[in-house]
Amino acid sequence: MQPILQINHLRKVFDDLVAVTDVSFSVEQGSCFGLLGPNGAGKTTTMEVIEGIIPATSGEILYRGLGRDLSFREEIGIQFQHTSLLNFLNVKETLTTFQSLYKNPADLDDLINRCDLESLLNKRNNKLSGGQSQRLMLALALINKPNLIFLDEPSTGLDPQSRRNLWTIIDNIKEEGKTIILTTHSMEEAEFLCDTVAIMDRGRIIAMDSPHNLIKTHCRASSIILPVEAFPMKLEEIPFPWKQNNSMIEIQVDRINDGLSQFMAMGVDLTEIVVHNSNLEHVFLYLTGRQLRD
């Protein structure tokens, strides 16, 4: 099956700054594709080039196997990371205004119900909370019934309840066969929503796979943490990879049951055991490093 989007050797240079070096990937119809990376990795620039907001320096972008034409913008929806709406308009007026811009727009009542906007219709844009504003922005991204939807950090700044509500809406959109490309700093969000994740760093994709496979490839499945005094034998006799953090020993195991069975047979005191399952955040930190970047 032909991918809905194919990116080949994309490059973007701003004066002396190489923002995107050589990025290639494909996105399957009906999937959610996530771009992850530290600040300055090139995620948003990659999205803006694909969306047609800024031109590529070089490379190829194919939509349904062909170059993008004027119809491309009619068939995509975009939720930008930062968008300013007219303060003097209310939610319903904003939706109606945007609806009038398209030839074949979505049904407004359906969109209002989908994004849970009914109680906000008479509320002015500048009076919306973060979660309310994000739901409105998602509705505007869907107002032209797009086949391909771009979401740039859709849950930034939201409280946990608003974030989960937004994820449910996005997941329901994907179940209808729509294709979603998103950038996010939330590893939990990427694990919950994405079928495929590409991790970018310094303008390149350094790893790409399903969240499950990335975890399996780059991290052991789990870690067992115990105090030093829990071990009756020398630490060098621990039969798994381990490291010491002050008074605690962190042991990496592929299967928790295997680790526990061996430790019980060796007489290890498991009273204060802590078990951590590896997740996408561990992969991200392993591949991009722990140093904070501006």
Q: Is 2 helix (H, G, I), strand (E, B) or coil?
A: coil
CB 102 within 8 A of CB 143: yes
Question: Measuring CA to CA, which residue among 203, 238, 209 is closest to residue 224?
Answer: 238
Q: Per DSSP, what are the bridge partners of residue 208?
A: 198
**Residue 60's Cα: distance from chain center in Å?**
23
pTM of the full predicted structure?
0.82
pLDDT of residue 292: 42
Record the tokens describing residue 213, joined without a space. Answer: 């496979």
Tell me which residue has tokens 């959109």: 173
Q: Rounded to 5 degrees, what angle do the CA atoms 130, 285, 32 make?
A: 55
List, run by run, the mean pLDDT of 10-residue segments along the chain (294 residues): 94 94 96 94 94 96 93 90 85 95 91 93 92 91 95 86 89 92 92 96 96 85 90 94 91 87 94 88 83 46
| DSSP result, 212-276 | HHHHHHHS-SEEEEEEGGG-SS-GGG-SS-EEEETTEEEEEES-HHHHHHHHHHTT---TT-EEE
pLDDT (0 to 100) of residue 290:
53
Residue 75 contacts residue 146 (beta carbons within 8 Å): yes
Predicted local confidence at residue 80, as pLDDT: 83
CA angle centred on 151, ends 184 and 13, rounded to 5°: 75
> What burial letters (b/e) apply to 160-179, b meaning 16+ CB within 10 Å?
eebbebbbebbeebbeeebb
E strand residue ranges, 15-135: 17-27, 32-36, 58-63, 66-67, 76-79
DSSP conformation letters of 131-160: HHHHHHHHHHHHTT--SEEEEESTTTT--H
Tokens of 229: 């005094």
